[in-house]
């Protein structure tokens, strides 16, 4: 247990907090900042000056105030100048975006990929190639301050090595290291689990903004989870926290890729739904195939309805377990689970009533992702910006050096 912060620590914290307001909330007047941060005007002015000098924000007169007197200057993020690279390695697609401070997508590349394991060199080469293309189009005064990737799989906290996932060939993949080398920007590439990062994005600027206790469930080939507990991402001892897809809901049930049986992922994942709906065979996978089942059920197809109902029951049981364990304020369904939840909300709610304790669920809200397919990429961008927000001046000094 250490002593409280030094004056220098507090200045760093205050600069980061001011920048975070601008980054997450957009343009904001100095007057509002004094209220939100609980600091006086001269301190806000000094902090803003530092961030302006560092090229992170700029100050402008507001367009129209409608009030008499001198208007308070508005602080805006330098979105076009300061940016990060965000990467998303999903089972079916690769995506790269150049994201400006404030969360603005400035440029973006995406490509579909065949399912199955990847070759590390090839993958990193493709992603770095996209980034280079985008970088060539930037103006000279822009500065890249970070890079991060969302991967479908487990990421070791200590060193960012990817340990498991549907795309992996090896047991320990130093993906961030390889991508960083190929990017050649002299920047480390942070790596995070896709569902964890999507949870972070929904918590920062999505449907879960201002919600301190939420569970984000992400459906892709499998089921991932990201948990925000008391305002913080639940990482666990080594960084593998949130793997709710491998909670056993049906002992002795369907075989799971992890070697166990009856995992939430095995009973609710894409394959469970498509098999239950009798849709097996070439081309029967991915988001479109899932959407087809949900649409067929909507139109009255009995087989599709039965499949959704079965999958919805297991999904509801899984959610009930998580509600008992976490007492969250909100559960968010994202990725493919968005469609599945919308098609089986009645089953999910019934299972909640049957299996979740009343006090645990009486103030619970069930929601679908508001960032949609952009959630994982947005989460990677937030991860890339994290160290800028932790110490704005140090980062800028390094980037400009």
How many positions of this chain bind a second copy (CB under 8 A)? 68
Determine if 3 is a binding residue for a second copy (CB under 8 A): yes
**Residue whose C-alpha is closest to residue 268's, from 226, 229, 222, 228:** 222
Here's the x/- map for a second copy, 287-326, by CB under 8 A: it reads as ------------------------------x--xxx-xxx
Binding segment toward a second copy, per CB under 8 A, in 52-60, 191-199, 342-350, 355-363: 355-363
Q: How far apart are CA 284 and CA 167, in angstroms?
A: 19
CB of 21 to a second copy, least distance (A): 6
- Cα angle value 17/22/25 (rounded, 5°): 110
Determine if 81 is a binding residue for a second copy (CB under 8 A): no
CB of 76 to a second copy, least distance (A): 18
Nearer to a second copy, 16 or 206 (CB): 16
Binding segment toward a second copy, per CB under 8 A, in 16-24, 84-92, 284-292, 331-339: 16-24
Nearer to a second copy, 15 or 145 (CB): 15
Q: Quote the tokens at residue 157.
A: 């906290």
Determine if 62 is a binding residue for a second copy (CB under 8 A): no
- Residue 243: count other Cβ atoms within 10 Å of its Cβ: 21
Determine if 29 is a binding residue for a second copy (CB under 8 A): no
Query: Pick from 53, 280, 342, 357: which binds a second copy (CB under 8 A)?
Result: 357
Nearer to a second copy, 103 or 154 (CB): 154
Determine if 45 is a binding residue for a second copy (CB under 8 A): no
Nearer to a second copy, 192 or 286 (CB): 192
Determine if 46 is a binding residue for a second copy (CB under 8 A): no
Nearer to a second copy, 71 or 253 (CB): 253
CB of 225 to a second copy, least distance (A): 8
Nearer to a second copy, 38 or 300 (CB): 38
Q: Quote the tokens at residue 376.
A: 């994982």
Nearer to a second copy, 100 or 242 (CB): 242
Here's the x/- map for a second copy, 217-256, by CB under 8 A: it reads as --------x-x-xx-x-xxxxxxxxxxx-xxxxxx-----
Restricted to residues 116-175, the positions that interact with a second copy (CB under 8 A) are: 154, 156, 163-164
Q: How far apart are CA 348 and CA 6, in angstroms?
A: 50
Nearer to a second copy, 149 or 223 (CB): 223
Here's the x/- map for a second copy, 323-342, by CB under 8 A: it reads as -xxxxxx-------------
**Residue whose C-alpha is closest to residue 111's, from 87, 136, 92, 83:** 92
- HEC string of the chain equals CCCCCCHHHHHHHHHHHHHHHHHHHCCEEHHHHHHHHCCCHHHHHHHHHHHHHCCCEEEECCCCCCCCCCCCCEEEECCCCEEEEEEEECCCEEEEEEEECCCEEEEEEEEECCCCCCCHHHHHHHHHHHHHHHHHCCCCCCEEEEEEEEECCEECCCCCCEEECCCCCCCCECHHHHHHHHHCCCCCEEEEEHHHHHHHHHHHHCCCCCCCCEEEEEECCCEEEEEEECCEECCCCCCCCCCHHHCECCCCCCECCCCCECEHHHHHCHHHHHHHCCCCCCCCCCHHHHHHHHHHHHCCCHHHHHHHHHHHHHHHHHHHHHHHHHCCCEEEEEEHHHHHHHHHHHHHHHHHHHHCCHHHHCCCEEEECCCHHHHHHHHHHHHHHHHHHHCHHHHHHHHHC
CB of 196 to a second copy, least distance (A): 11
Partners of 155 in beta bridges: 162
Nearer to a second copy, 325 or 345 (CB): 325
Determine if 354 is a binding residue for a second copy (CB under 8 A): yes
Determine if 32 is a binding residue for a second copy (CB under 8 A): no
CB of 316 to a second copy, least distance (A): 11
Q: Quote the tokens at residue 14.
A: 């205050």
Residues making contact with a second copy (CB under 8 A)? 1-5, 9-11, 13-14, 17, 20-21, 36-39, 43, 154, 156, 163-164, 212-213, 225, 227, 229-230, 232, 234-244, 246-251, 258-260, 317, 320-322, 324-329, 354-360, 363-364
């Amino acid at each position: 247990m250490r002593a409280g912060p030094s004056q220098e620590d507090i200045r760093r914290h205050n600069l980061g907090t001011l920048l975070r307001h601008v980054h997450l909330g957009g343009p904001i007047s100095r007057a509002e900042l004094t209220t939100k941060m609980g600091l006086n005007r001269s301190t806000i002015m000094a902090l803003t000056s530092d961030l302006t000098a560092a090229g992170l924000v700029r100050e402008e007169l507001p367009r129209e105030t409608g009030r008499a007197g001198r208007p308070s200057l508005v602080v805006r993020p330098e979105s076009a100048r300061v940016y990060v690279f965000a990467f998303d390695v999903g089972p079916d697609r690769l995506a790269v975006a150049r994201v400006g401070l404030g969360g603005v997508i400035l440029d973006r590349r995406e490509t579909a990929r065949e399912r199955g394991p990847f070759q590390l060199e090839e993958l990193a080469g493709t992603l770095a190639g996209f980034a280079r293309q985008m970088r060539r189009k930037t103006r000279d005064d822009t500065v890249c301050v970070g890079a991060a990737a969302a991967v479908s799989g487990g990421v070791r906290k200590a060193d960012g090595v990817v340990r498991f996932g549907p795309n992996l060939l090896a047991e320990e993949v130093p993906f961030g290291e390889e991508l960083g080398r190929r990017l050649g920007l002299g920047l480390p590439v942070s790596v995070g689990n896709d569902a964890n990062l999507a949870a972070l994005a929904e918590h920062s600027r999505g449907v879960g903004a201002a919600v301190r206790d939420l569970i984000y469930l992400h459906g892709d080939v499998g089921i991932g989870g990201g948990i925000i507990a008391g305002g913080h991402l639940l990482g666990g001892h080594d960084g593998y926290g949130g793997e709710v897809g491998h909670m056993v809901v049906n002992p002795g049930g369907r075989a799971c890729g992890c070697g166990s049986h009856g995992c939430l992922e095995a009973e609710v994942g894409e394959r469970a739904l498509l098999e239950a709906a009798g849709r097996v065979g070439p081309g029967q996978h991915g988001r479109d195939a899932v959407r087809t089942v949900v649409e067929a059920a909507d139109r009255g197809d009995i087989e599709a309805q039965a499949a959704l109902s079965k999958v919805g029951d297991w999904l509801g049981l899984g959610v009930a377990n998580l509600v008992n364990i976490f007492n969250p304020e909100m559960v968010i369904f994202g990725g493919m689970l968005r469609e599945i939840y919308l098609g089986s909300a009645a089953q999910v709610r019934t299972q909640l009533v049957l299996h979740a304790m009343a006090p645990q669920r009486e103030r619970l809200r069930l929601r679908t992702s508001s960032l949609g397919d952009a959630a994982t990429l947005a989460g990677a961008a937030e991860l890339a910006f994290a160290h800028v927000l932790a110490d704005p001046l140090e980062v800028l000094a390094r980037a400009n050096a």
